[in-house]
Chains A and B, each alone.
Chain A
Amino acid sequence: MAAQHLSSAEARVAAEHVARASYGRLIALLSASTGDVALAEDALASAFEQALVKWPGGGVPRNPEGWLLTVARNRQRDLWKSSFQRTSAPLDAAADSAYDAVSPLGAVDPDAIGDKRLELLFVCAHPAIEPGVRTPLMLQTVLGFDASRIAAAFAVPATAMAQRLVRAKQRIKNARIPFAVPDRHAMPERLPAVLEAIYGCYAIGFSDHGKDSGDLSGEAQYLAITLAALLDSEPEPWGLAALITLSLARTHASVHGFVPLDEQDTTLWDARLIVAGEQFLRRATSAGTPGRFQLEAAIQAVHCNRFRTAQTDWAALRTLYSALLVVAPSFGSRVALAAVMGRAESTAAGLAELEAMAATDKRTEASAVENFQPFHATRAELLDRAGRSAEAQAAFATAAALTGRPAVREYLLHRAADVRAEPDRFAP
């Protein structure tokens, strides 16, 4: 392919990503030396302010990142000392030596020091950090989002979000959570939380929370690719990058109301993103150790392949969902397997799978299936195909009542009305 022409919007996004990479890299570098993320944020904000004053007259420095780092480090040093003096006046000497011990002010070239964002991602998703604040913490420290924007995306009051972020950063500092990448031995128990937090960022992009939330799926892709590239040899981060990229490829097919995946117009899919996602997936699977995100990405890749072959390989999906259920059992994937069985085998097989699921669920305390929207939507679809109109209609209505997404609700109510309009095909 010839050199790609960037639209002005794409150029702006690219520029924003460069700025964002700088932000995360600088916060990671500054906080790694002291363990104090809030102090690093204040120091960097102050360096940006100085840049706005000095660069217009003196010109942009040849190494802007290095300039910002030097200014921020000096500021950090001043802030560190003054806060130490406020809290414990007789300990000046201790403050000096403690700061110098953890922050040698030698090299200021960020490239020479290396990228510390990976360490920062592991800090944000540390087991000692409450799971619900891990994604917001990543958005703030790695990407530079302000608390009010994060609060809007997560549909919580801005003050509450700000407090949770402040508290998490205090924990990092006070409990001394290390800025370190876990060694190979600890990686299996530490990596899933990082992946989960990035996946959470992607998932919130598809919820109907604040108006900014749509952008977050793109940010999740950026975080996943950053993590994958920094860890390089770990397969699951590449799997997550592939999953998010392939899902993003299809977002344009649903902009004007909800359209089920297998009915989407493939000409609205983004071929460039599909190809990129497939490359990430190949990179992941070359390691030969399958995992949850690789399987989910492979499922997306099978769906996306319809833009080439014009048909869906239901048998391949059945195999992949069965494998996913073994690796990471969930209601969602079991319902999806039932839907796929409804296509790959028969409508009756799909319905039987759902019934088996509901029967198992009844034996547990809280009946989760009852309130699980995808269960009812899938059941409605299968019942409709089986010609059981009355039941299908009721199931579509139940599913519609359970969804929080207006576009999905509209689609389901529309389907319920369609069933009503048709007579029972197999009724006597």
Chain B
Amino acid sequence: MRYTLLLHYPEGDVESIGAEAMAEGQRAFASYATALQQAGVLVSAEVLQPSGSTTTLSMPDGVLQVQDGPFADTKEQLGGTFVIDVENLDVAIGWGRQAPSIAWGAVEVRPGATYTVDGTWQPNT
């Protein structure tokens, strides 16, 4: 069963958090990814650029609108995702609580519905 760990946290850059804290965070994420990989549960992982770089598209009344900024302008933003393949919710929660960003934000553990393999949809079982 695939679960996506959605990491939400207040955004910060090197200036606001400091170079040392930033480096420490990166080390923590590196060893987290290693642990997931060694356990054989890591499907994919991605840490996103801050929402200052994002562009949101929508089409109200059939007219494309291109907007500078995130879909929801909240203090905490989606900062990264880890897709893991584990037996059940308890195991997924067990990994989610170890995500380094839990120290400064929330980790959402969301079961997947379907995913693609070579472009073909597969049920998440």
- Residue positions of A touching B, CB distance < 8 A: 88, 91, 94, 98, 126-128, 174-178, 180, 182
Contacts and interface: CB of A to CB of B under 8 A. Distances in A.
Contacts of B89: 126, 128, 175-178
Interface of A is mostly: loop
Given A174-B111, A175-B111, A176-B1, A94 B125 contact: yes
Nearest to A91: B123
Contacts of A180: 88, 90
Contact of A177 (B88, B123, B125): B88
Nearest to B88: A178
Contacts of A178: 87-91
A88 B1 contact: no
Contacts of B90: 177-178, 180, 182
Contacts of B125: 94, 98
Interface string B1-34: 1000000000000000000000000000000000
Interface residues of B, number: 10
A179 B121 CA distance: 28
A178 B89 CA distance: 7
A47 to B, nearest CB: 26
Contacts of B123: 88, 91, 94
Contacts of B87: 178
A20 to B, nearest CB: 28
A182 B91 CA distance: 11
B125 to A, nearest CB: 5
- Most A C-beta atoms less than 10 A away, residue of B1, B89, B93, B111: B89
Contacts of A126: 89
Interface string B61-94: 0000000000000000000000000011111010
A2 to B, nearest CB: 49
Nearest to B91: A178
Interface string B82-125: 00000111110100000000000000000100000000000101
A88 B114 CA distance: 11
A176 B90 CA distance: 9
